[in-house]
Amino acid sequence: MTYFVLLEQRNATLSEVSLDVWNAVQHLAADAGCAEIYGVVIGDIDDGVVSSLCYGNGQVYVLRDKAFDRYAPSVYAQAIAELAAETGAEHVFLAATARVRDLAPRIAMRLGAALVSDCALKADDQGFPKATTALYAGSVRAVAHVRTEIAVYTLGAQANRSARISSSPVEVRNADAFCPEFSGWNPLLEEVRYFTARRDISESDIIVAGGRGVGGRDNFVLLESLAEALGGVVGASRSAVDEGWRPHADQIGQTGKSVAPKLYIACGISGAVQHLAGISGAGIVVAINRDREAPIFSAADYGVVGTIEEVVPRLDSAVRSFQRLK
Ligand SMILES: Cc1cc2nc3c(=O)[nH]c(=O)nc-3n(C[C@H](O)[C@H](O)[C@H](O)COP(=O)(O)OP(=O)(O)OC[C@H]3O[C@@H](n4cnc5c(N)ncnc54)[C@H](O)[C@@H]3O)c2cc1C
């Protein structure tokens, strides 16, 4: 069996979510007992950075070319698909990020492969990848049976990160031969980059998320303070984003980001299926809501019935007092 992984590069380093996929695939290959593993990184990144982050078996190809300076879907998809085909990959794995939502169908189409989106991965009895996906906004879980020779999987983030399988760095190789001719045509008109000091919510271990029940933009200060005390970040439901209280980059759920923090605190969020679809990989879920019948409590490990104004500041000061004792 041959496995192939896309390692996403941002600001000359590899994203944590794609390293997580790399590590998960290493474990899968170990279970299968006979897999070859290849990775690909696109863009300007030092070989040393790649080998300092990727451990285990296999080789990682780095594609550097000015054709990749700006994200062009067809150029990226062509390069990845050609390299995957060259390695003889039967299973292609990508972290389910915003860019991969755009890229994965294009890669699958070029490879004539089935696409299994937003799945969780395990090995079956024979060591083959067994992908489970959430359907109907997370209310049904299905096992995907792939009938094509090649399959492309996008993997949702999980709170239980896959550990490195070994301490030996991978072999890093140059793959200039797979840099495609770029005609210059790009359907992407403009790339707007937002620089923020805050961590991306999809890479944070602790998220304090607010919904319509937070009551307004100003009340999010309470959540910011709690998140800061816990070393986490603030996320939001779609209602809070639609109200203009938070930017879209903070939205969690079906039409926002999928997150997998170790701790998720939902404040004034009702728990609609479209929101829960974005937190299926979360570890411990805590809900704070004034309505004891709110559906979020069925998805929570711990629940507090009360208002945001009353509960969040008390939790905040309890966390800070506890930290002073340490
Ligand atoms: C196609 C589609 C895609 C969608 N995608 C997403 C998505 O990606 N993410 C997403 O979140 N939603 C999404 N939605 C919307 C989703 O269906 C819900 O409407 C939304 O999640 C509700 O947000 P909310 O829980 O913040 O607000 P509400 O449903 O209005 O809930 C507010 C909650 O706050 C509680 N509350 C009120 N005041 C207080 C207070 N003072 N203290 C404590 N609790 C209080 C209430 O009891 C209530 O439970 C989508 C919908 C559709 C149709």
pLDDT over 80 at 136, yes or no:
no
Q: What is the pLDDT of residue 127?
A: 79
Which protein residues touch ligand 1 with a CB less than 6 Å away?
A: 211-213, 215, 237-240, 251-256, 268-270, 272, 274-275, 278, 289-291, 294, 307-308
Token pair, residue 79, equals 């390069």
Q: Which CATH class is domain 201-325?
A: alpha beta
pLDDT tens figures, 144-165: 999 999 999 999 877 677 788 8
Instruction: Taking residues 303-323, report their average pLDDT.
Output: 96
Q: What is the pLDDT of residue 137?
A: 66
Q: What is the pLDDT of residue 106?
A: 97
Name the residue of 270, 285, 309 whose CB sits within 8 Å of the most ligand 1 atoms, as the mutation to test its pocket. 270
ipTM metric = 0.99
Instruction: Taking residues 168-173, report their average pLDDT.
Output: 92
| Helix (H) or strand (E) segment spanning residue 251 | none
CATH number corresponding to 2-178: 3.40.50.620
- Spacing, Cα 212 to ligand 1 middle (Å): 6
Poorest-pLDDT segment among 131-145, 200-214, 238-252, 297-311: 131-145
Name the residue of 207, 274, 280, 315 whose CB sits within 8 Å of the most ligand 1 atoms, as the mutation to test its pocket. 274
Closest by CA to 18, choosing from 80, 74, 64, is 80
Whether residue 17 is annotated as binding a ligand: the answer is: no
Instruction: Taking residues 298-302, report their average pLDDT.
Output: 96
Contact between 180 and 78 under an 8 Å Cβ cutoff? The reply is: yes
Residue nearest to atom 47 of ligand 1 (CA): 291
Mean pLDDT rounded to a whole number for the chain: 91
Closest by CA to 219, choosing from 99, 146, 90, 308, is 308
Banded pLDDT at 196 (limits 50, 70, 90)? low
pLDDT tens figures, 47-92: 999 999 999 999 999 999 888 888 888 889 999 999 999 999 999 9
Token pair, residue 59, equals 């080789």
Q: Where are the domains of the chain?
A: 2-178, 201-325
